[in-house]
Amino acid sequence: MQTHEIRERFIAHFVKAGHVEVPSAPLILDDPNLLFVNAGMVPFKPYFLGQQNPPFASGTATSIQKCVRTLDIEEVGITTRHNTFFQMAGNFSFGQYFKEGAITHAWNLLTGSVADGGFGMDPDRLWVTVYLDDDEAADIWEKKIGLPKERIQRLGMADNYWSMGIPGPCGPCSEIYYDRGPEYGADGGPEADDNRYMEIWNLVFMQNERGEGIGKDNFEILGPLPKKNIDTGLGIERVACLLQGVENVYETDLLRPVIDVAEQLTGATYGAKHADDIRFRVIADHSRTAMMLILDGVTPGNEGRGYILRRLLRRIIRSARLLGATGETMERFIATIMDTMTPSYPEIADSRGRILDTAVTEEKAFLRTLESGTHLFERAAESVRSSGAKTLAGDQAFALHDTYGFPIDLTMEMAAEAGLEVDRAGFDALMAEQRDRAKADSRAKKHGHADLSVYREFVDEHPTVFVGYDNLKAEGRVLGLLQGGATVTRAAEGTDVEVILDITPMYAEAGGQLGDRGAITLGDTRLRVNDVQKIGKKLWVHKATVENGEIGVGEQALASVDEGWRHAARQAHSGTHLIHAALRQVLGPNAVQAGSMNKPGYLRFDFNSARALTPEQLTEIETITNQAVDADWAVNTFETSLDEAKAMGALALFGENYGDRVRVVEIGGPFSMELCGGTHVAHSSQIGPVSVLGEASVGSGVRRIEAYSGLDSFRYLSRERALVEGLATSLKAPSDELPDRIAQLTEKLKAAEKEIAALHRRQLAAATADYLKQARQVGDFTLLTARLPEGTAGGDLRTVATDLKNRIGAEPAVIVLATADDRGKVPFLVAATGGAVERGVRAGDLIRVFGGPVGGRGGGKPDMAQGSGSDASGIDAGFRAVEDDLRNR
């Protein structure tokens, strides 16, 4: 049974049982605790926590959620059931059926005949576990389902009590296992061998809320949830493994084709060597995860989600190289996994070019890293050999990995080829320290669910009615007041307060548009509204300051939007849509929005691209945008179904979880059509001129365009005109001749700088002969010490030292140069000729000898080292210290 059919059978089973099918949420959600969605229940958390009522009339739902877990990346391929990306099929009940319903639904699907829509599994091969004291679940399995008591095992909290690992919903669970047979391990059920007995479905009886704590069984149970709920998770990949009769999840129909391609590209054979098999599995697993992350808007970077994606892609490249690949492989891997996954995720087809471009660009960059890392390794290896050692130190291997991104596996492979070993224990110790720091930092940043309980009664019972699309003023009743996170009945003059109204014209921050500014008035009382935020997508919270009078719960108040603020904000937001459309015209459909921010008069637009825009492209984007302004197109907004909006070609923002009904903003027909809840102008001409300020990188693979709109654009252009007029006056040239005039002056300046530099070099060369006269014999060495003129640059020290070494030749000599600058700094340098190095002199050692008296430090290679100090009065003492060191050798 193919994976796509398994998905279809699961959904059909639960829809037939009255559940509402819910599409998978994106892998990225606005959750402070999660880099990625890591469980099927994550999109439903507000319903489990009681923060919102589920929008399903039946109170039940089913979904197949995209999930990513990356805590154990190094385990991928070693165990045969671990995927970083997986599809979690689940059924959910919010206060409807509980344990008996969940168990019955699961059993019927697993053991039901294939002809009737089930999976057709042999019931004699199924085992279950329950929580230690969950007699209710054990009785249902035995008495209702008829499972023999000996195939029901009780396990402790670490195994059979579920939570997300952070504060949130939790509860005991019952896990269903499939016995793969004695060839896979020992008898005795899941508690004896979880390789032979493969877990396929976890039924969570979610009834409690957990508090802070670390680990699976070290946390406090805060109390019961408002309702008893069901959350289940069936692993699609594991079921596919069993129903397709393959050894592991990497050999199923979705991943095996990538392994086949890897065999073609590397010349290695899957199944021949255990170490190679792990690498094949890493390639297959990570290719899928990387592809799905890019699909949902992640780009490679050095932090957070971007770092995870970069790490996955680099592990693919590393594994392919270790298998024997010599060229680029990413395009084939990613294209293959897109082919296998598109039937379940049709949106992949629309993003195929963008996904390939992102992955291939990262591969090219990493291959360059590998090339430079190889050179660094060769230098490090030569240093080890020249010292007579046979082991590359752990800190050197760690520096190659941490600073230059050079994988330890390649370091060890190349060391073996060079006849060296690597201090792997030292490397591992440094890696462990780094992981501990990262984990500590991660724990410090986690803060559980924001305490939304204070808003709970308002969210469920009194959602705010937003009337701000058509009105800038509206009367509403004060439903609630909050100060310092607690509800109050009144707020007095001078206090900051959060105001909850039943009706408001004020836009709450969303979709990149800042919240409105304005006022709330009642009688002589006036509140200045500084910001508007949204809670649970239902509740508008006005953050305000009571400027005079006081306000109380239950009173009628007039909310007024600052008209100037709204007008300029609408100009910027509509301008953002035009910039997006113009960008796609210039770069094509692969230029996908990665975020935006707009406020009165200003907008910025982030998009996925590995390359900077050319000046010509930026000018074209600005021109197309202003042509759209000049066209005076009507700006139409309407609501429709999500499917209908997508069919019309409306663009959606990555990471946004849309409902069944969406709002579409259309400007100029096909020119711009996006899903958007923001406020907009009525006609494109009302945006006013749009001035593009420029574009720049804001992270790996993400670029940002910034622009002014409306009056702010006009003011910017006025300033630019004044600047041009000033330059024209100063240079005595018409404005249209300024570029040529400035270019001429620039060329003259460059020529003058070259002349000065040549004169400076001649002066240094002339001075070198004088410095040679200062050389003297100290023991077996010639020592030359010289204080160069104040202000001599560090680079000049190196130039003089190199010239002196060339003049001295092979005789054992040491050169010490120092100077001082007008900031009180003391640049200094020590150089040793080849003859001195052969006699054991190391410039890096002597640099520390000189550095002490001048309060400085430095480093370098055996033949030349540089440093900087802070005490010019110690230069002569430094010279004497080096002389004493040489004399005592």
Q: Which residues are annotated as a binding site?
A: 573, 577, 676, 680
* Alpha carbons 266 and 316: distance in angstroms, whole number: 12
* Alpha carbons 448 and 34: distance in angstroms, whole number: 10
Give Rg (Cα) of the chain. Answer: 34
Cα–chain-centroid distance for residue 763?
53
Query: Which sign, positive or negative, has the C-alpha torsion 535, 537, 539, 542?
Result: positive
- Give φ, ψ of 235 to 5 degrees: -80, 105
For the chain, what is the largest distance between any 2 Cα atoms, rounded to a whole number of angstroms?
104
Full 3-state SS string of 21-86: ECCCCCCCCCCCCCCCCCCCCHHHHHHHCCCCCCCCCCCEEEEEEEEECCCCHHHECCECCCCCEE
Q: SS3 for 224?
A: strand
* Alpha carbons 827 and 781: distance in angstroms, whole number: 24
Q: Within 10 Å of residue 112's Cβ, how many Cβ atoms?
A: 16
Instruction: List Cβ neighbours of 600 (8 Å cut-off, separation of 6 or more).
Output: 564, 565, 567, 568, 569, 571, 572, 712
Residues in binding site for Zn(2+): 573, 577, 676, 680
Contact 15, 642 (CB under 8 A): no
Q: Within 10 Å of residue 448's Cβ, how many Cβ atoms?
A: 14
| Triad 332, 336, 342: Cα angle to 5° | 140
Contact 481, 487 (CB under 8 A): yes
Contact 93, 19 (CB under 8 A): no
Q: Within 10 Å of residue 331's Cβ, how many Cβ atoms?
A: 13
Give the Å distances, CA to CA, from 30 to 26, 33, 514, 576, 776.
10, 9, 17, 22, 71
* Alpha carbons 91 and 107: distance in angstroms, whole number: 13
Give the Å distances, CA to CA, from 33 to 64, 166, 798.
21, 8, 52
Q: SS3 for 217?
A: coil
Contact 609, 587 (CB under 8 A): yes
Q: Which long-range contacts (CB under 8 A, 24 or more apart) does 303-310 make?
A: 303/699, 304/35, 305/28, 305/35, 305/36, 306/699, 306/700, 306/701, 308/35, 308/36, 308/70, 310/362, 310/700
